[in-house]
């Protein structure tokens, strides 16, 4: 390719360069070090070219042997004029020359930087991957997205391969000053995303590995241990019945007590999931916290409440709200909070109960009053098995025991929670494989 004499390029001189029938290059005499060229094409387009010599030396191959590396010259396109101005072209050329002097190929370094995404882009790709492969429940995915948006967004503009413990630590410390539990959760999200980046080849090691949330003030949240007695559950049931809350909300709270199901499971119940003739609710894997489908058995009172809500409908949400959509799980939390600070203020001060405490109280009552065994209670609650051997080999459903226990629980709720118990009525207990009143 033809080259013209070196000249100190300026915007006026560049504009004065006219195209010919063949491309040619002009050396910018002002660049330090030398080697910055401007290529003029027959179409009239002009592009910057950085010509550098990669230093020779010795490098270690995959076998651990040192081999000689010969010096070589490379031309690297920097971009078009005037999108890349003279000052920018000089800076890029100096960067290339510096890399070449260390024996590095600027073109390869540039490609590596382009392949490594920013953290914000990584988070998006990772969450899209999890959603596409249904690796997590919708609730867990939403929690990861919320942490990325609210707590980790200050790291979004940093390339993944430039993330270090020193850049992550101040962010975790800042989160911990406001919400310590979220700092711990954010570290879990970040560590999982960066582990995926390792698998994609964008980074060689996970900078979040070895980071302990406690070191940044992210204390673990105290496990809740509030359990409501039958009398206290009756206070809640009666307060719900006497309140002015929407009927679909009160029905949801009653179903929480009767089934021991999770808040999101009850709020998102669909008619298509139900087999009311067989007192069964088939929860799909997509809505289960453990991503495992399971059957929740229903007592006759729960079936009656559900039938009252769906009436003649054959599809859609069971707890249909005023807007024609299902009840939002957060509205159940709000309703319980209002009860705790309103009609049930005395109980709330003594035991600051939450929605999840209804589930814990039901599970405790199954063991306390119905003598249900721990493994049966875990199955009724839909807990994941922690023992991998049991998870692999034991797939019994305990259907008969679940149905028997939930039937007895329905009778107990009817006698001691939904109504005032008589003087001669005491909680049900299991005796010789059947429930009897003592």
DSSP state letters, 190-207: HHHHHHHHHHHTS-SS-T
pLDDT of residue 290: 83
Distance CA 17, CA 81 (A): 12
Task: Say if residue 292's pLDDT is above 90.
Answer: no
pLDDT band at residue 286 under the 50/70/90 scheme: confident
Task: Say if residue 61's pLDDT is above 90.
Answer: no
Residue 82: asked if its preceding bond is cis (omega within 30°), the reply is: yes
CA distances from 260 to 18, 43, 195, 370 (A): 81, 74, 35, 14
pLDDT band at residue 432 under the 50/70/90 scheme: very low
pLDDT of residue 325: 82
Residue with the bigger pLDDT between 57 and 319: it is: 319
- Each domain of the chain, given as residue ranges in start order, spans 2-115, 119-216, 230-437
2-115: CATH number: 3.30.160.390
The predicted-structure confidence for 83-123, as pLDDT tens digits, reads as follows 899 999 999 999 888 888 888 888 777 665 556 789 999 99
Q: Quick count: other Cβ atoms within 10 Å of Cβ 225?
A: 7
SS3 376: helix
Task: Say if residue 424's pLDDT is above 60.
Answer: no
The predicted-structure confidence for 315-372, as pLDDT tens digits, reads as follows 999 998 887 788 888 899 999 999 999 999 999 999 999 999 999 999 999 999 999 9
Domain 230-437 -> CATH class: mainly alpha
Find how far residue 384's CA is from the centre of its chain. 19
Task: Say if residue 236's pLDDT is above 50.
Answer: yes
pLDDT of residue 222: 67
pLDDT of residue 60: 62
Contacts of 382 by beta carbon, 8 Å cutoff, 6+ apart: 261, 262, 283, 288, 289, 290, 292, 294, 296
Closest to 293 (Cα-Cα) out of 303, 281, 278, 279: 281
Closest to 197 (Cα-Cα) out of 137, 139, 115: 115
The predicted-structure confidence for 164-211, as pLDDT tens digits, reads as follows 999 999 999 999 998 888 999 999 999 999 999 988 888 889 999 999
pLDDT of residue 265: 94
How would you classify the pairing of strands 72-81 and 280-283? unpaired
Closest to 367 (Cα-Cα) out of 353, 381, 354: 381
Q: Quick count: other Cβ atoms within 10 Å of Cβ 322?
A: 8
Structure token digits, residue 21: 């029938």
CA distances from 410 to 124, 279, 297 (A): 46, 12, 11
Average of pLDDT values for 215-238?
86
Contacts of 60 by beta carbon, 8 Å cutoff, 6+ apart: 66, 67
The predicted-structure confidence for 4-54, as pLDDT tens digits, reads as follows 778 899 999 999 999 999 999 999 999 889 899 999 999 999 999 999 988
Q: Evaluate if pTM is beyond 0.75.
A: no
Closest to 228 (Cα-Cα) out of 256, 249, 247, 263: 256
High-pLDDT (> 90) share of the chain, %: 61
High-pLDDT (> 70) share of the chain, %: 89
119-216: CATH number: 1.10.150.130
Which helix (DSSP H) or strand (DSSP E) does residue 69 occupy? strand 66-69
pLDDT of residue 259: 97
Structure token digits, residue 406: 């939930």
Task: Say if residue 430's pLDDT is above 60.
Answer: no
The predicted-structure confidence for 378-422, as pLDDT tens digits, reads as follows 999 999 887 888 878 888 889 999 999 999 999 999 999 999 876
pLDDT band at residue 431 under the 50/70/90 scheme: very low
Instruction: Please say whether the beta carbons of 408 and 430 come within 8 A.
Output: yes
């Amino acid at each position: 390719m033809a080259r013209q004499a070196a000249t100190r390029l300026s915007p006026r001189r560049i504009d004065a360069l006219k195209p010919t029938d063949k491309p040619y290059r002009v050396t910018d005499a002002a660049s330090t070090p030398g080697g910055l060229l401007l290529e003029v094409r027959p179409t009239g387009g002009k592009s910057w070219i950085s010509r550098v010599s990669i230093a020779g030396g010795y490098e270690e191959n995959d076998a651990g042997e040192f081999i000689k590396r010969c010096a070589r010259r490379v031309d690297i396109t920097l971009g078009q004029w005037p999108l890349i101005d003279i000052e920018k072209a000089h800076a890029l050329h100096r960067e290339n020359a510096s890399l070449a002097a260390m024996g590095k190929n600027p073109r390869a370094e540039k490609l590596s930087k382009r392949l490594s995404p920013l953290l914000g882009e990584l988070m998006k790709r990772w969450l899209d991957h999890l959603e596409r492969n249904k690796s997590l429940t919708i609730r867990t995915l939403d929690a990861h997205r919320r942490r990325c948006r609210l707590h980790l967004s200050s790291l979004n503009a940093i390339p993944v391969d430039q993330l270090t413990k020193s850049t992550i630590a101040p962010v975790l410390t800042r989160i911990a000053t406001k919400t310590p539990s979220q700092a711990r959760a954010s570290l879990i999200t970040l560590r999982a995303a960066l582990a995926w980046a390792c698998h994609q080849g964008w980074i060689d090691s996970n900078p979040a590995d070895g980071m302990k949330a406690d070191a940044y003030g992210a204390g673990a949240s105290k496990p809740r241990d509030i359990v409501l007695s039958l009398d206290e559950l009756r206070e809640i049931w009666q307060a719900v019945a006497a309140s002015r809350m929407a009927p679909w909300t009160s029905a949801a709270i009653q179903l929480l007590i009767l089934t021991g199901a999770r808040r999101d499971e009850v709020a998102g119940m669909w008619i298509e999931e139900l087999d009311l003739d067989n007192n069964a609710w088939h929860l799909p894997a997509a809505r289960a916290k453990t991503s495992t489908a399971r059957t929740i058995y229903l007592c006759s009172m729960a079936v009656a409440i559900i039938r009252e809500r769906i009436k003649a409908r054959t599809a859609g949400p069971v707890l249909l709200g005023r807007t024609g959509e299902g009840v939002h799980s957060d509205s159940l939390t709000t309703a319980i909070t209002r009860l705790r600070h309103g009609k049930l203020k005395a109980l709330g001060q003594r035991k600051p109960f939450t929605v999840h405490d209804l589930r814990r109280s039901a599970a405790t009552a199954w063991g306390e009053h119905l003598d249900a065994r721990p493994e049966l209670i875990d199955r009724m609650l839909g807990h994941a098995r922690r023992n991998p051997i049991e998870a692999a080999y034991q797939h019994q459903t305990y259907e008969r025991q679940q149905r028997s226990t939930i039937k007895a629980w329905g009778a107990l709720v009817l006698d001691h929670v939904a109504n005032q118990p008589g003087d001669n009525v005491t909680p049900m207990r299991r005796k010789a494989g059947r429930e009897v009143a003592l």
